[in-house]
Chain A
Amino acid sequence: MGTAAIIALIQALSVVTPTLISQLFQIGKSEDAPTLEELTALAGMIKKSESYFEPAA
């Protein structure tokens, strides 16, 4: 195997392997990232537009 082929192999590995390792072992998983439930719950924060102008009960 020629030097060029070895270099190409190293370059390919350096591109593909980090993504695979990160995805397989969740490296760098953020503690701050919201969960899917927290994300979905955002939708419930918005009131109906007219409700702001309705007389207090």
Chain B
Amino acid sequence: MRKLRNLAIITIVLILAGCASTGKLTPSGADADFISNWYKVLYSEAGVVDATMTSLGALYKAGELPDTVKQQAVIAHTQFSSDYSKAVAALVSYYTSPTDVTKSAANSACIQVQVQAAAITAISILQTKAVK
């Protein structure tokens, strides 16, 4: 009887420990923290890239940005836009069908957005130095 009681206690402790380690889940069972973190990153990258492109656009309108640099910025932003759409679609895919495969795809797609956003920032920094 005592053995049985001890076994029951051990089982409950193990289950509770497991519950604590499963983390937060969305209603669909996806990792909520993973989605939330990438949502914040994508939201923030969209704002940063918009500000950078607006700044480059202002320089161009003021005649301080060569056509070649403008073209580079347009190409980089077009790629960013494409990567961004893919990242959002990949996150939605993981949200609706949470598996290791969709999670990994979403992770890769979101990292690609960060890489492309950095490319746009680099164009802006180089151009700002050139103008000075």
Contacts and interface: CB of A to CB of B under 8 A. Distances in A.
B11 A14 contact: yes
Contacts of A28: 19, 22-25, 32
Interface residues of A, number: 36
B15 A13 contact: yes
Interface in A20-39: 21-23, 26-30, 32-34, 36, 38-39
Interface residues of B, number: 48
Contacts of A15: 18
Interface in B32-47: 32-33, 35-36, 39, 42-43, 46-47
B91 interface: yes
The SS class assigned to the A binding surface is helix
8 contacts: A19-B22, A29-B26, A29-B32, A34-B39, A42-B39, A42-B43, A46-B46, A52-B56
Interface of B: 7, 10-11, 14-15, 17-19, 21-27, 29, 32-33, 35-36, 39, 42-43, 46-47, 49-50, 53-54, 56-57, 60-61, 70, 73-74, 77-78, 80-81, 84-85, 88-89, 91-92, 95-96
Q: Which 8 A-B pairs have the closest CB atoms?
A: A18-B18, A14-B14, A30-B32, A52-B57, A33-B32, A30-B24, A49-B77, A45-B46
